[in-house]
Every structure is written in C-alpha cells, then in structure tokens.
Amino acid sequence: MNAPMQTGYNFAYLDEQTKRMIRRALLKAVAIPGYQVPFGSREMPLPYGWGTGGIQVTASVIGSKDVLKVIDQGADDTTNAVNIRSFFRKVTGVATTEKTREATMIQTRHRIPETPLAEGQTLVFQVPIPEPLRWLEPRETETRTMHALSEYGVMHVKLYEDIVRHGRIATTYDYPVIVNSHYLMRPSPIPKFDNPKMHRNPALMLFGAGREKRVYAVPPYTDVRSLDFDDHPFSIERWEAPCALCAATDAYLDEVILDDAGGHMFVCSDTEYCADRQAAGHKGEMAA
Amino acid sequence: MRPTSPLLQVRDLAKLYGNRIGCEQVSFDLYPGEVLCIAGESGSGKSTLLNTLAFQLQPDAGSVLYDIHGQGMTDLASLPDARLRELWRTDWGFVRQNPRDGLRMRVSAGANIGERLMAVGSRHYGSIREVALDWLRRVEIDETRLDDAPTSFSGGMQQRLQIARNLVTEPRLVFMDEPTAGLDVSVQARFLDLLRRLAAELHIAVILVTHDLAVARLLAHRLIVMRHGRIVETGLTDQLLDDPQHPYTQLLVSSVLAA
C-alpha cells in the first residue's frame, strides 16, 4: 500500500550528499563490527532522544521498494512508532507494515521482534548513549584507546559491583556485549532478553546515535557475546506467568498494573507477535 | 646482596615545560627490591620526574630502560602503547598522593582491588573476591569493609586500599607520589610500617617521592635530593642524612626539627 510521497522534500527527507555521507560511515561500521564510527549528525524534525539517530540511518539506506516496520518498546501503535512510520510514509512514499515477516526494514526502539529475522532484512536501532565505557571513564580519548586495545577489564568492575549490591548481575537492559570477539558494544536499551537474538543473526543490524553522532553495526552472522562471570553466567529474564492474552512463555512480557488493589497482568511487549498468536487460537487467561 | 643487573636504568632524563625545566640530567640505577626516595622542596621537579619515569609524561631527552619479564632491558620509548599500558596495570603500581586520583571512589573496596585482576582476564567472581579479601587483610583493613565504597573510609584506610589495589598483581616496581602527605602523624607511622613490611616481603622496588626526610629515613635504602629539576646529591640514606655534602642538602637536613 504505497502512499503518495509529499512534494517539496528530497526522497527520505535528507539530501543526497548527507545520505551518502551516512552510508559511507555505515559501510565502515559494517566492515568493523561493533566499532563506533563518527558521522555528521543532522538536525531532524524531532527532538534528540526520540530517535534522530535511527531515523537518519533509516533515511540514508531506505529505497522506494522497501517495506518499513517501526516499533517502539515492541509495539507498532505507540506514539513514537506511529509518528516515525507516518514520517517515512510522507517523505518516501514506501509501503509500511506491522508484519515482521513482510518488512525489509525495521526501525526499533528498545526491542528486537520476537519473530525471527531473516536474511535480507535490516534492523535499525535508536541509540541514546553509544559508549559502553562512559559510566567508568569520562574521557573520550581514553575510551577510544581502551577500545583500540580491547582493554575491557573495567566493564567487569561494573558487573562485579552489581553482584556485590544485588547478589546477581542486575543490569537488565543495554547489557554490554562483545562483538566479533573484539569491540565492546552497547546494544542500545533493549532488554537483555533480546541479547541472545543478536548472536549470529541473519539480519543486518545498524545502530544510530543522533545526539552523540555515532553509528555502528553488527553484520549478519556475527558473534555477539554478553559479558559475564564464570560463576555468574549471563541469563535472561523469566516471568512468573505466561502472557495473559496469548499464553506465550517464550516472549518478553510487560507487567501492566490494572487497579490500585495489586491487580496486574503480564502481556507480550511485541504486539504483532501477541496478535498473531491470538489469531492462531492461543488463548491466555484474560483473553476476551 | 645486590643482584648484578638493575631493574630500571635512567640516563640523562629531561622533561621540559616550554622554556621551564621540569627535570633534567637525571641518571640513576634502581635494583630489584630497592626502596629509593626522591626528596626536595616543592617545585623541585620530584613529581615531574616520577611521572616521566613511569612514562605517564613523555620525556624530552634521555632514556629509561626497564627489565621486562622475558625480554630483558628495554627502552620504554620503543615500547608500543599497548605494552606500556600492560606494564602499568601488571608489573608496575602507582600510588597517588590523593586517593581520589588512585581509587575508583564509587565502587566497593573489593571491586577496587579486583580491577587489575579483571583487567588481566580473571572472570570468576568468587575467586576475585577471595583475593580481594586476602589483600584487605594484608593491608590491615577490617574484612567487613569489603563491600563498602572508599568514600566511607578514613584517609589512612584509603591509602592502604590504594596499596592493596596496586600490589594485587604482585608488581616488581611501585611508584609513589607523597603517599603520606595527607595523613596525620600516627596514621603515617602505621602506613610506613606496613609499606616497609610489604616491600620487603614481596621484594618490590619502590620509587617514592616525598618532601619529608623522616619518611625517607624510615623507608629508603637510597636517597636522591633534587633542586631546580636537577639531582644535587645522592647516596645511601643514612650516610646522606648524617653527613650531607651539598649546601642545599645541609640546609634541608638542618631544617628538620630535632625530636
């Protein structure tokens, strides 16, 4: 369902030279998995923190035949997702979809879809802070040297401190990973539940940080390992109940408060996955 | 007693700040297990020299050779950054005057001690913790403080924690920049005692910068006196303090209040 493209703007909002500059940065990023490549981030018609990095990456690689899906926290129908989707419909006229399988490009904030990605698909992440070492080392010159020399011992200091304070590694989102056995990378604030999905994923994953002016990438079938200790291995979140609508036990669930008497339900954060399962006849205990 | 080959060899070392002299024409040898004090008034180039020796500052002239494990005497200027940084976090230690510069104030004492272990590849939480606990004991800090942040420690404890944090990889050379300057006298004495014991036990060479001749007398085997960026006198500590030859050293020694 191609929409008519709005006139007065270049295809995909950015001018061709800018798109070329970002594509050049992205090529470098793909060539060095996990390495943060600086790029000349542009002003976009929305505030920093709302996905300016992801939008610039999407705008510079999207083509007229692409089919775009946009999700925010797993949902297709939240403000951020709806607006970015309609933005791209206006300035490119490309078809949009909510179906992960039909999409050739997916821009995401904070989730990787539950439906496994396939070869040929591109996943674009919106990144607030790209530097995983920032918490421990404020100097950019120093963090660059640490990346160059793979000096990542301090990252374990943070995990150690987690265990000291909470008895386990309490980092639950933006969980640090080592890409292709070299670069330490922030996977953007996705839950650690999604970390294993990045490992040897057949899709291309691109990351854009607009305010911090960095792009990085995980090419298809690249090793992505989450950091951990031998005696405190990496593990993903578990829930006490299945999804209340589709009974899924293998999906990332949001806890939704229903009243002020302690009533709550767990429900899939990936709305498309949940709807598909319900359509296929899976019924949770609160399904209508 | 003395092994035949030095650990560190310094020749005609100079560090300039534009036209001003940080230090110049500094030459000496340091042997394994030896404690060397660099004394002098403030502004005499002691700290500049220390930082230049450790290659935290780039020297403008001269050379520093260090006996690297399995490689022998190596000119530090020829060492790639990666190897130099490896030296800093394994075979060398650096104890700062202000513990805020030498510690991670926002993480626990255990994490501070464990940092070097994790930097060289330790990935077992339990064993890192055990080693940290052992070192806490060795620097006489109560074991129950393992999970407390250094901000809750007294000045003396913070300095002892710095020692533990540096010695955990069993370095062969430790640089110290006025480690006792911020401590009151009784705490100083305890700290120096500990330092002397650990250095002797572990056979660590120490280069210690101080303006306090009492510290030098207590700890140092050998003493270097600096003024205006140059070495004015050097010798065995007792000999030098009891029979100073250079007028400036005489002045320095005579200015110490008799107990």
- For the segment A270-282, what is each residue's pLDDT rounded down to a tens digit? 999 999 999 999 9
Disruptive mutation site among A152, A160, A234 for chain B (greatest number of B CBs within 10 Å): A160
Instruction: Reply yes or no on whether the pLDDT at A288 is more than 90.
Output: no
First to last CA, chain A: 30
| In the block, residue with structure tokens 């020796």 | B53
Instruction: Please answer whether residues A114 and A98 qualify as being in contact, where contact means their C-beta atoms are separated by less than 8 angstroms.
Output: no
Q: Which chain B residues are closer than 8 Å to A151 by Cβ?
A: 85, 119
Handedness of CA A36, A37, A39, A44 (dihedral sign): negative
| In the block, residue with structure tokens 């301090």 | A154
Q: Which pLDDT value is given to residue A136?
A: 84
Whether A151 sits inside 8 A of B119 (CB atoms) is yes
DSSP assigned state of A155: H
Q: Which chain B residues are closer than 8 Å to A165 by Cβ?
A: 147
Q: Show which of residues 78-97 on chain B sit within 8 Å of chain A, judged by CB atoms.
A: 81-82, 85, 89
CB-nearest to B125 from A149, A160, A165 is: A160
Beta-carbon contacts of residue B152 (< 8 Å; ≥ 6 apart): B145
Q: Which pLDDT value is given to residue A72?
A: 95
Q: Which chain A residues are closer than 8 Å to B144 by Cβ?
A: none
Beta-carbon contacts of residue B40 (< 8 Å; ≥ 6 apart): B46, B211, B225, B226, B227, B252
Disruptive mutation site among B125, B131, B146 for chain A (greatest number of A CBs within 10 Å): B125
Q: Which pLDDT value is given to residue B212?
A: 87
Question: DSSP 3-state assignment of B135?
Answer: helix
Disruptive mutation site among A154, A157, A184 for chain B (greatest number of B CBs within 10 Å): A157
List active site positions of A.
Answer: 34, 243, 246, 268, 274
Q: Which stretches of chain A sit within 8 Å of chain B by CB?
A: 136, 145, 149, 151, 153-154, 156-158, 160-161, 163-165, 228-232
Instruction: Reply yes or no on whether the pLDDT at A42 is more than 60.
Output: yes
Whether A157 sits inside 8 A of B125 (CB atoms) is no
Q: Which pLDDT value is given to residue B43?
A: 87
Q: Which pLDDT value is given to residue A148?
A: 95
- Across A55-130, the runs of DSSP E, i.e. the strands, are 67-72, 95-96, 105-109, 122-126
Q: Which tens digit of pLDDT belongs to each residue from B66-105?
A: 999 888 999 999 999 999 999 999 999 999 999 999 999 9
Q: Which pLDDT value is given to residue A135?
A: 80
What is the value of ipTM here, to two decimals? 0.88
Which parts of chain B register pLDDT below 50? none
User: Which pTM value belongs to this model?
Assistant: 0.89
DSSP result, A238-254: --SS--TTT--SSS-EE
Whether B82 sits inside 8 A of A231 (CB atoms) is no
Compute CA A132 distance to the chain's CA centroid, rounded to the nearest angstrom: 15
Q: Which of A27, A120, A108 is nearest to A74 (CA)?
A: A108
Q: Which pLDDT value is given to residue B181?
A: 86
Instruction: Reply yes or no on whether the pLDDT at A3 is more than 90.
Output: no
Whether A160 sits inside 8 A of B119 (CB atoms) is no
Q: Which pLDDT value is given to residue A226?
A: 97
Sorting pLDDT into bands at 50, 70 and 90, what band is A2?
low
Whether A231 sits inside 8 A of B108 (CB atoms) is no
* Separation CA B7–CA B31 (nearest Å): 5
Helix or strand (DSSP H, E) at A20: helix A16-31
Q: Which tens digit of pLDDT belongs to each residue from A155-196?
A: 999 999 999 999 999 999 999 999 999 999 999 999 999 999
